[in-house]
Copies of this chain bind each other. A is one copy, B any other.
């Protein structure tokens, strides 16, 4: 059996840690694959890389090892048991040996050109050392501050020119990683609202290098509910007068979101889905608050005010209480498996059929969750019939 590499940017953050721990626990038969979309009946029979064939590595700014990171998570979020952590200690140590310092850590050179080179060396060395068929690079790092759009992102030629001149201001960190991955021919997935590969120049790059990418911003909580629920109002011709969303977060993401620039990035992609499904929308807002005591748990409260027949004003409220990283981690595994599959199958560019995984799906205008899931199901049916594209 050939192995597939999953390279996580932010490997020892909460999402990264749970992704690795969960994959190993399922591989060792210690856990059910609950929460994994790729284990649903509709997708299970595709020739996806098996969970126990995934080999993990990544970049990380933080020093502590995976066992420590898992323990911290257990203490704060109340998930994982000491028994599980101990049973996987060896596996986690092995992964630790494949985790390299992140490019913001000072261990790397300063300019974008040199950073890209360093990242590509790390990726290639990982692939060779572990004899991996493919590597999928997945961004699960903390959201970076919202950067203003740059004209140089418009075409690959312009971006390359800026790179030749080593113009740091054109290259936010997430773009550096995305460029490095795609340029080296690796698949790239952006699970965060950061820029990543969402700009036209990187779509060009992916096509030039015959590789694939997907993004952005994993749809794990409030937006998942919103994009499932909003069609109800649209299909019943009920006028949504107001949709107010309040998110309470206690993890590093929540802390980062105290910075209004970071929050801007997040709220923007959260609001887009709603307006796209409902068309007319009286008033809407998305609030994000940092509530430290919640740690990795998230509470979202939404109030929906709507008008029906005869002008009747009615309302719906929901509260979503979930463990953010436990909702994200299985999707990271799904995206890794599905991207590796697409890459091997010969697809290129953005993977539109993965829209159901993202708040702000690249290249897709469908935002209703059920519709998006149909796209994935149809893709699976097509791929089953035609396992290779370039033949």
Contacts and interface: CB of A to CB of B under 8 A. Distances in A.
A309 B244 contact: no
A31 interface: yes
Contacts of A283: 291-293
A327 interface: yes
B242 A291 contact: yes
Stoichiometry, copies per complex: 4
Nearest to A41: B279
A171 B54 CA distance: 64
A291 B321 CA distance: 18
A285 B314 CA distance: 25
Interface in A292-337: 292-294, 299, 301, 303, 305, 307-323, 326-327, 329-330
Contact of A305 (B78, B228, B291, B310): B291
A330 B311 CA distance: 12
A213 B322 CA distance: 43
Interface stretch (A79-87, A347-355, A380-388): A79-87
B231 A309 contact: no
Interface string A30-63: 0111111101100000000000000000000000
A319 B323 CA distance: 19
B308 A316 contact: no
Given A370-B371, A373-B231, A312 B293 contact: no
A287 interface: yes
B292 A235 contact: no
Contacts of A246: 244, 246, 287, 301
Contact of A327 (B309, B370, B371): B309
Contact of A326 (B232, B309, B316): B309
A368 interface: yes
A159 B135 CA distance: 68
Contacts of A370: 231, 235, 368, 370-371
Contact of A299 (B291, B303, B320, B329): B303
A319 B244 CA distance: 14
A248 interface: yes
Contact of A289 (B39, B78, B244): B244
Interface in A253-301: 282-283, 285, 287, 289, 291-294, 299, 301
Given A22-B310, A34-B311, A246-B287, A232 B228 contact: yes
A237 interface: yes
B248 A40 contact: no
A237 B229 CA distance: 18
Question: Which residue of A80, A83, A238 has the most chain B CB atoms within 10 A of its CB atom?
Answer: A238
Given A235-B369, A235-B370, A316 B327 contact: no
Interface of A: 18, 21-22, 25, 31-37, 39-40, 78-83, 224-225, 228-229, 231-232, 235-239, 241-242, 244, 246, 248, 282-283, 285, 287, 289, 291-294, 299, 301, 303, 305, 307-323, 326-327, 329-330, 356, 368-371, 373
Given A25-B310, A285-B289, A314-B323, 9 more contacts: A22-B310, A40-B235, A224-B232, A244-B246, A287-B287, A293-B307, A301-B303, A308-B323, A370-B370
Closest 4 CB pairs of A and B: A241-B293, A35-B309, A370-B370, A312-B326
20 contacts: A18-B310, A22-B309, A31-B311, A32-B311, A35-B236, A35-B237, A40-B235, A225-B232, A231-B369, A231-B370, A235-B370, A242-B248, A242-B293, A242-B294, A244-B289, A316-B321, A318-B318, A318-B319, A368-B370, A370-B371
